[in-house]
């Protein structure tokens, strides 16, 4: 068992839970109730739920790779996504001059990426 990849799996699962159960009421519900036109509103909600699916898939990939080297390529892809999401969030936060508490996702994705890279380097 690769404890680092297991940690990445658990951190990603935690991220998915935060996304769904904290972010849902704070972000998705206001989008759904907004005055946006139907197509932009539905597209934003679709993207929101796609992120949920991707986070769960990443957690599964890390968990599978923690148990078996046969799933290493899936964990490598999930790690690359975590790095990309952290960089995207940081870039957006800098561009928007956002405070850390307004767009803190990069912190969790950086943790996930760090755990995954450490686990994949073993």
Task: State the residue range of the domain holding 68.
Answer: 3-120
Q: Is the pLDDT of residue 7 over 90?
A: yes
DSSP summary character for residue 69:
G
pLDDT tens digits for range 66-118? 999 999 999 999 999 999 999 999 999 999 999 988 999 999 999 999 999 99
Cα Rg of the chain, angstroms: 16
**Where does the pLDDT of residue 122 fall: very low under 50, low under 70, confident under 90, or very high at 90 and above?**
confident
Confirm if 64 and 8 have CB atoms less than 8 A apart. Answer: no
User: pTM of the prediction?
Assistant: 0.93
Total count of domains within the chain: 1
3-state helix, strand, coil in the chain (%, to 5): 85, 0, 15
Hey, what are 10's tokens? 């658990």
For residue 2, CA distances in Å to 13, 69, 95, 115 come to 17, 9, 37, 11
pLDDT tens digits for range 55-66? 999 999 999 999
Distance CA 53, CA 59 (A): 10
């Amino acid at each position: 068992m690769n404890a680092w990849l297991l940690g990445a799996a658990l951190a990603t699962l935690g991220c998915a839970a935060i996304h769904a159960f904290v972010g849902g009421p704070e972000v998705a519900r206001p989008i759904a109730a907004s005055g946006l036109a139907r197509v932009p509103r539905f597209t934003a909600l679709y993207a929101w739920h796609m992120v949920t699916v991707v986070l769960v898939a990443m957690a599964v990939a890390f968990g599978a790779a923690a148990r078996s080297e046969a799933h290493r390529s899936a964990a490598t892809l999930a790690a690359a996504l975590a790095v990309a999401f952290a960089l995207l969030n940081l870039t957006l936060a800098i561009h928007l001059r956002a405070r850390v508490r307004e767009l803190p996702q990069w912190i969790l994705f950086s943790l996930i990426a760090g755990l995954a890279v450490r686990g994949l380097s073993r």
